[in-house]
Amino acid sequence: MKKIAILGSTGSVGRNTLQVIKELDNYEVFAIYGGSNISLLVKQAEEFNPLYVGTFFPENKKRLDDTVNDRWKTLLGVEGASELATNDEVDAIVIATAGSMTYDPLIEAMESGKRVATANKETIVAYAHLLKKKLPNMKGELIPVDSEHSAIYQSLLGRDRSQIKRIILPASGGPFYNRKSFEGITPKEALNHPTWKMGKKITIDSATLMNKALEVIEASVLFDLSPGEIEVVIHPESIVHGMVEFKDGSIISQLSMPDMRLPIQFALTAPDHSVSPAPRLSISDVKSLTFYKIDEERFPLIPLSYHVLKESGTLPAVFVSADEVAVNAFLSGKIEFKRIIEIVIEVTKSHEVIKDPDKEDIVKAEQWAYLKANELIK
């Protein structure tokens, strides 16, 4: 029986992970970790009966303890998540959180030889400089949960990486790709994604194409690629999730219905493909698959991501932090939609990059970007 710890079980990816485990033989939930939604966290604990239940936020610990009432062991903060990362009983950790606070648990799980299934772009991007150094020497497996990176991972299985010419990351384009103006966009409109059902942060990022911008940097870390080996295209149908072009011109791709349960399940069962509850793709029902070049003037975060990747150092952390602040400000009605993009650009371009940072430098860069973005919002 494989025991799974889920960091971020109350979010969209976390909830889907629980559904996947429920359908899989020989997998069980060992621990669940949430944030502020304690009532849902406890409902999940009642259904799956894990050994541990935790919250990342100290202000929720008393409420969690009072609600749990000794039915399960409780953990707190990143320190508690790190305990799970080094627990010998845990076979795999699913990182389904937003934000970059899960760097330590990720590293500790990898050093412990565990499988880490990650849907967390922010940690991979913010700590890209350090992860590129550390990952090749770690005992564990880092398997992406993002549909695009899962598709690349699957397309590369059993293949010599030296034969790659480039990878192609498709983007749906979000709800506004064909909209002439970004004026007057409401949070409700921006949260209405045409093909995916996701959490609020990633849905807004999909609307600005920041999500794809982060994926460019993430792909470089996960697959050890240079900026010139990564291309982004618009693919509104969201059927082709990723492509790999080899040096001879052959392109291998992975196709499926847009359902996060598929990449989540594969991250747990890889290299095996088990029966999935996700809907199957009927090729005869697919009338067309279309691909377009990115309009970089309307979506400038894509070209900015290549600049951030080339500069590296502390700049990816600033890129991530500025976006988090701007998205939260938009969702709370403090700024307009188009201002998200402007703030990310302004903060990123005004940062003095530390080229060879340590962890403390990256944390300080995130904090600087947080303050700078808030200053621009005010």
Q: Which residues contact 81 (CB under 8 A, 6 or more apart)?
A: 7, 33, 54, 56, 75, 102, 104, 105
Residues 60, 123, single domain; the answer is yes
| Two structure tokens written together for 200 | 């609020």
Give the tokens for residue 221. 């870390």
CA distance 271 to 223: 17
Does 290 reside within a domain?
Answer: yes
Distance of CA 80 to the CA centre of its chain: 21
Instruction: Express as a percent the part of the chain with pLDDT over 90.
Output: 79
Same domain flag for 179 and 118: no
Q: Are residues 140 and 165 in the same domain?
A: no
| pLDDT one-digit tens code per residue, 279-294 | 999 999 888 999 999 9
Domain count, the chain: 2
By residue range, what is the domain housing residue 66? 2-144
**Domain co-membership, 94 together with 200:** no
pLDDT at 79: 93
The CATH number for 89's domain is: 3.40.50.720
- Do 37 and 118 belong together in one domain? yes
CA nearest 203: which of 174, 179, 180?
Answer: 174
* CB 362 within 8 Å of CB 127: yes
pLDDT at residue 75 tops 90? yes
Contact criterion met (CB below 8 Å) for 230 and 216: yes
**pLDDT tens track for 16-29:** 999 999 999 999 99
Q: Same structural domain for residues 201 and 297?
A: yes
Same-domain pairing of 196 and 223? yes
Residue 265 lies in a domain: no
DSSP assignment letter at 233: E
Q: Are residues 8 and 132 in the same domain?
A: yes
- pTM for the complete prediction? 0.93
Q: Quick one: pLDDT band at residue 15, thresholds 50, 70, 90? A: very high
